[in-house]
């Protein structure tokens, strides 16, 4: 890795010492975490700390209207939360240490769904989706809490094509690397939904699909949380190291 040098002066008790800053020329990847519906950045923080240790700049944040019991949760829409994600992405991309061509987005459930749409609005190199939920394109600006849950449950149990869904169309257009993580016993995002996502990533550079055995949608047990963390950190490590040595991994 190349380095840049900058001559400086250090002032000590009215005397000046000559010094030189040496720093890597290469900027580092950025990683944006997007939590699920009703969640917060809290669960992402430990994973972000681990990934930051790989040499990445990570950003976690709270989406609007997700605090339990708040009046705002009754009115927040998908459009508003998508704007939240765009604002967080733009803040991360402006970080002085970031290579704006090397940004990963790590989304969960509702956050994963919106993260796919983000890829059509901002450049994303790596996309990690854990138990991505799926919604009809209709009623986009209707408060999320007012969407028909029974209708969504039926919608998710059948195959959905990119031609009929904005998020899946975004997946088809995505040409970066993808991690798709499924929970074995997910009552909210069934296997059919995961397979609709998987089929939509027909143009991705690579696709890694993993199943967390015994896991429910929320990763309620410590062992399932640890299993997901291991999958995510391993994949991010592979992507970051691969980018630094000039190679990119294939499909698995």
Q: Which residue has the tokens 């970031």?
A: 98
Per-residue pLDDT tens digits for 17-32? 787 777 666 788 999 9
Phi and psi of 130, rounded to 5°?
-105, 130
What's domain 27-244's superfamily in CATH? Answer: Alpha/Beta hydrolase fold, catalytic domain (3.40.50.1820)
What is the residue-averaged pLDDT of the chain?
91
Q: In sequence order, what are the residues at sequence separation of 6 or more whose Cβ sits closer than 8 angstroms to the Cβ of residue 50?
A: 229, 233
Q: How many alpha carbons fall within 13 Å on the CB side of residue 121?
A: 17
How many other CB atoms are there within 10 angstroms of residue 211's CB atom?
16
Q: In sequence order, what are the residues at sequence separation of 6 or more whose Cβ sits closer than 8 angstroms to the Cβ of residue 166?
A: 117, 137
**Out of 78-82, 182-186, 197-201, 248-252, which region has the weakest mean confidence (pLDDT)?**
248-252
Question: Which tokens in the block code for residue 211?
Answer: 């199943």
Checking DSSP bridges between strand 126-130 and strand 98-108, what pairing results, if any?
Answer: parallel
For residue 221, the model assigns a pLDDT of: 97
Phi and psi of 120, rounded to 5°?
-90, -10
b/e 172-194 (16+ beta carbons within 10 angstroms → b): bbbebbbbbbbbeebebbbeebb
pLDDT over 70 (residue 249): no
pLDDT over 50 (residue 252): no
SS3 at position 144: helix
Which pTM does this prediction carry? 0.89
| Residue of 59 and 67 predicted with greater confidence | 59
What's the mean pLDDT in 168-185?
98
């Amino acid at each position: 890795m190349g380095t840049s040098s900058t001559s400086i002066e250090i002032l000590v008790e009215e005397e000046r010492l000559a010094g030189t800053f040496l720093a890597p020329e290469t900027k580092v990847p950025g990683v944006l975490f997007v939590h699920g519906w009703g969640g917060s950045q809290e669960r992402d923080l430990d994973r972000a700390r681990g990934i930051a240790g790989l040499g990445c700049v990570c950003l976690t944040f709270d989406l609007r209207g997700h605090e339990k019991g708040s009046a705002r949760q009754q009115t927040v829409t998908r459009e508003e939360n998508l704007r939240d994600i765009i604002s967080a992405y733009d803040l991360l991309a402006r970080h002085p240490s970031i290579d704006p061509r090397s940004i990963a987005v790590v989304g969960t459930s509702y956050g994963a769904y919106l993260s796919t749409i983000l890829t059509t609005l901002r450049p994303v190199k790596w996309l990690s989706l854990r138990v991505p939920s799926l919604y009809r394109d209709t009623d986009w600006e209707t408060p999320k809490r007012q969407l028909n849950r029974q209708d969504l449950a039926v919608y998710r149990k059948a195959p959905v094509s990119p031609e009929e869904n904005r998020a899946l169309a975004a997946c088809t257009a995505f040409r970066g690397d993808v991690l798709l993580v499924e929970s074995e016993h997910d009552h909210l995002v069934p296997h059919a939904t995961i397979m609709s996502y998987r089929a939509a990533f027909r143009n991705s550079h690579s696709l890694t699909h993993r199943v967390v055995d015994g896991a429910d949608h929320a990763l309620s047990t410590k062992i399932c949380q640890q299993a997901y963390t291991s999958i995510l950190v391993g994949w991010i490590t592979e992507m970051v190291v691969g980018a630094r040595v000039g190679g990119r991994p294939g499909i698995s």
